[in-house]
Structure formats: structure tokens, C-alpha cells
Amino acid sequence: MSPIALPPDFQFSQGNLQDFVDCRRRFQLRHLLRLSWPALPAEPASEFETQVRLGDAFHRLAHQHALGLGGELLARMAQAEDAGAGDAGRLQEWWQNYLQYAKSTPLDGPSGLPGTRYSEVTLSAAAGASRLVAKYDLIALDPGRAAVIIDWKTSRSRTPGAWLASRLQTRVYRYLLVRAGAALNGGRPVEPERVEMVYWFASFPDGPEHLPYDAVQFRADGAYLAAMIAEIEGSGEDDFPLTSDVRRCRFCAYRSLCDRGVRAGDLLDAADELLLPEAEGPIELDLEQVAEIDF
């Protein structure tokens, strides 16, 4: 069987690689066949849509703040967005938490980050016959001192650090900053030991997750990603089986197509992220992943 042909404009990202790890069939349907399927990933629909909308709005506000817009003006915009979503102040609370966080100590908040800041910036590097890309919420660089990645999270629960460390987002973002960060660093390579990824939770502003990096992790990530990409590029059409864990299917839009159920999982019970114990450890479903936010 000959290998599959990737779409001409295909690029590898943390989103599609995470789909490949979670369910190869979902990777094939979503990213190779680009099949749209008329099913919600989670219910109730109104809460799912509100959570996605407010999460997107928060990221826009943080980006505008990084570009220099005033916090109070953006607070009024948050109020208007809450009203439009029919929500009782959720985005406003997140925004006030953000403004307080922005005044905190160095390396713990946007105002204390080192050097030059890049908001909503994309980096890419060659990966197999394609490219590996990542779009960052915020990168702050200070040559010879630090390279800090900030990722804003608007989930209802505080995600465990061990789970975050294992996600493709963490591995791709830190690895790619070392691979391609010289473009933001005056042409100078970004050393792995200078890199740190910080997840900041809008609902848990005092509990950011700090994940440092080093050369050993960088080499391991490079080997892991290269092997996965080579496996995908060498796969045949029949090499994309369904996940063996049917519990993942509750929050997948393709569940009815795959005969894995009709009704979506309950987002309110899951609280955006659902921990499911199993022999190999917990499974946690990320709302951003469920919502098909590719980067």
C-alpha cells in the first residue's frame, strides 16, 4: 500500500498531532479528509458555544493589551462581550484577574516579562516533507537571559501540571521556539535552558504552571516529533484506526460517524476538562482541542 498524500497546504501543528495521538481516525477525518460532520462535540450547546466564544474574546483582549490598548477600555469591551453572550460577568472576572496578574513579579506576569514581547506570533520549521507550525499567545525574549512562553487558559478547572507537560502543545511550543526562535532573537539561537513555558489560568490567577526546558528535553522532543511525523507521512489509508478508549468519543464530533454513540458528553459535568482514570493514567480532554482550535 502506497503512503497517503497529505493535502498540498498541510502543516503539522500541536493540534493535529494531538489528534493523531488521541485517535488516528479523528486525525484522518479532520485533517486529511477535512470532513465536516454536523455534530456538537459537547452539550449543552449554549454553554459550549458561550465558553468557546468567551475564550476567544479573552485571547483577543490579551492580544490588544499587549499591543498597547488600555486595560480600562478593554474592561468595557469585556463587559459588552459578556452582555452579548448572555453571561453574568465571566469574561469581566477573567479580565480583572489578568490585570492583577499583569502587575505581579518578574517572570510571573506580562508586565514583568523580560525583554521584547511578541503577541499572537507564529513560528515554523521544516518537518519531514512539510512544516511544523505553532501560534503562540505571547513570547517574551531577553537575549542571554530568558525566553518565556505564556499561554492563556480559560478552562473552568485547574489543569494538572503533569498532564500539561505531556501534551503536544507543551512539547511543540518549547521545541519550536528553540528551533525557530532566532527569527525573534536578532538572529541568535535560543538556548533550551533559557526557555520556560507558563500556563496561566484565568479562573485560577494565582496558580500558573511553570514548565522549564533543557537540552535533554529538546533532543527528546525532536526525536519524538520526527518519529511521529515520519510515521504519519509513511502511513497508508488503512493505518488510521479508531481509538481503543471509547470514552474519548463522547467529546468527538465524529462519534456517530464512527458508530461510537450519538449524544455528546456533558460539558458542565466535565467542567471543560474531564479526568477519566484508566490503567495507563488519566485522560483529560481539553476544551480548546475539542473546539478544534488548531493552534
* Per-residue pLDDT at 213 exceeds 90: yes
DSSP 185-234: TTTPPPPGGGEEEEEEETTEEEEEEEEE--HHHHHHHHHHHHHHHHHHHT
220-235 tens-digit pLDDT: 999 999 999 999 999 9
Give the mean pLDDT of 6-22.
95
The pTM score is 0.88
- pLDDT computed for residue 242 by the predictor: 96
Better pLDDT: 157 or 278 = 157
pLDDT for position 284: 52
- The architecture (CATH level 2) of 1-295 comes to Alpha-Beta Complex (3.90)
- Give alpha helix (H) positions in the chain: 14-22, 24-27, 45-66, 71-85, 90-101, 161-166, 168-180, 215-233, 267-270, 287-290
Q: What percent of the chain has pLDDT over 70?
A: 82
Look up residue 236 and give its three cell numbers. 497508508
Q: For 18-76, write each residue's pLDDT tens digit.
A: 999 999 999 999 999 999 887 767 666 777 788 888 899 999 999 998 888 887 889 88
What percentage of the chain reaches a pLDDT higher than 90? 55
pLDDT reported for residue 104: 66
The whole-number pLDDT of residue 269 equals: 58
Average pLDDT of the chain, as a whole number: 85
Residue 277: per-residue pLDDT: 41
Mean pLDDT of 96-118: 70
